[in-house]
Amino acid sequence: MQAVEIRKDIYWVGAIDWSMRSFHGYQTGRGSTYNAYLILDDKITLIDTVKDVFAEELLERVSSVIDPARIDYIISSHVEPDHSGSIPFMAQHCPNAKIITSLPNGLKGLKAHYGELPYEGVKAGDTLDIGHRKLKFVTTPMLHWPDSMVTYCPDEKILFSNDAFGEHYATSARFDDENDLPTIFWEAKKYYANILMLYGRQAQAALKALDGLEIDMIATGHGIIWRSHVKEILEHYQEWSEGKLEDRAVVVFDSMWHSTETMARTITEAFQSRGIQASFYDIKENHLSDIMTDVLSSRYLAVGSPTINNQMMPTIAAFLCYLKGLAPKDHKAFAFGSYGWGGQSIALVEDELKAAGCEIILDKVRIANVPSSEQLQDLTEQIKNL
């Protein structure tokens, strides 16, 4: 396992998790990487570690450059174990290293996870002089944990951004311009939608804190390193965090005997006939994390469920629970569904959409049993008249 030099005397020494397919429920179809960086200067500095099962891989990559015992500092940008999990292991191999973490939450979190180690706390704006370079700490609380921080090196114009601007994407090519660009932007959007959407206000604050810094490279905690498309990923974060919406619709449904599915098809077609692109998601065939990626920037959301045991389908309940947690902004939504008798599911879906912060633009669309062509025509008209 070799380190990859990304700038003179600065190395990527992380790990590639080719096989991971779930990151606490977020479906990671393309795996991920846990990025760590080694800076050789008067003081040798390791920025972040990797998930504990990859500790040996990290050590091997570091050892391909220097003796790990020479490391002076290990910076912990974020306590979540995909980045901090190998700190105890590295502390054993780097007996002289101080572990730099944010105050007060990084220190509190690391102690809670790993007990006493040689920690040193830093605050927003503190600078670490490592010789020819300085490292400046910018705290980014709740982006997405209380302890989160990023490290800026003004001498190299590199931002070591940890979770921000990253994506779950396993690749052997370290830079943005060596990978398929639409794929990495889509994965970055998926990462934002599923990990950071709830924290748009904090993302805006972080972007403000970074405003004015000259950034040539963003060395992320996951996926690729941005060097050719820095401006674009910063712009995307601006749009996503301010909740900029496109005239697009997401139609999500479950169905028992195809009647709610027929309504979903009609709604999708009706949006399209209005010139609004619409995506059709049978919840049985699509993962929540993919649907949420589309929800992030789509203005309209239609959610359908038939009634089962006086409730909505559990699949739709899970989707709405996830939606409510991520708290999308300013979406226009409505509930729909077919039913045999009680038909309670449609009102329940509408209640959950309201609880998620959506504006209801069409009162509960309910059709008993199998939709007739007249009822579907009427549904089409209702969408057209929205």
In this structure, are residues 202 and 141 in contact, taking their beta carbons and an 8 Å threshold? Answer: yes
| Candidates 79-87, 135-143, 153-161, 335-343; binding stretch for ligand FEO (CB under 6 A) | 79-87
The residue from 30, 78, 229, 332 that contacts ligand FEO (CB under 6 A) is 78
For this structure, is 144 an active site residue? Answer: yes
Which residue stretch of 54-62, 74-82, 93-101, 310-318 sits at the interface with ligand FEO (rule: CB under 6 A)? Answer: 74-82
Choose which of 61, 83, 229, 332 interacts with ligand FEO (CB under 6 A). Answer: 83
According to DSSP, the residues that pair with 300 across neighbouring strands are 249, 332
- CA 230, distance to chain mean position in Å, is 18
Least distance between ligand FEO and beta carbon 58 (Å): 15
The answer to whether 82 is a known catalytic residue is yes
Q: Does 190 bind ligand FEO (CB under 6 A)?
A: no
Q: In this complex, which beta carbon is closest to ligand FEO, that of residue 130 or of residue 326?
A: 326
Nearer to ligand FEO, 144 or 227 (CB): 144
Site for ligand FEO (CB under 6 A): which residue of 17, 48, 82, 156? 82
Name every residue whose Cβ is closer than 8 Å to that of residue 211 and which is 6 or more positions away in sequence. none
8 A C-beta contact, residue 326 and residue 194: yes
If you count them, how many residues does the chain have?
A: 386
Asked whether the beta carbons of 100 and 120 are under 8 A apart, the reply is yes
By beta carbon distance, the residue nearest ligand FEO is 80
Dist. CA 67–CA 56, nearest whole Å: 14
Q: Does 163 bind ligand FEO (CB under 6 A)?
A: yes
Is residue 335 within 8 A of residue 349, CB to CB? The reply is yes
Catalytic pick among 17, 57, 82, 294: 82
Three-class secondary structure of residue 248 per DSSP? strand
Instruction: Please tell me the distance from the alpha carbon of residue 14 to that of residue 36, in angstroms, as a whole number.
Output: 4
Active-site annotation holder among 17, 41, 156, 163: 163
Confirm whether 191 is a catalytic residue: yes
Tell me 321's DSSP state. Answer: H
Q: Supply 133's token pair.
A: 């370079």
- Which residues does the annotation mark as catalytic? 24, 78, 80, 82, 144, 163, 191, 222
Q: By the criterion CB under 6 A, which residues form the site for ligand FEO?
A: 78, 80, 82-83, 144, 163, 221-222
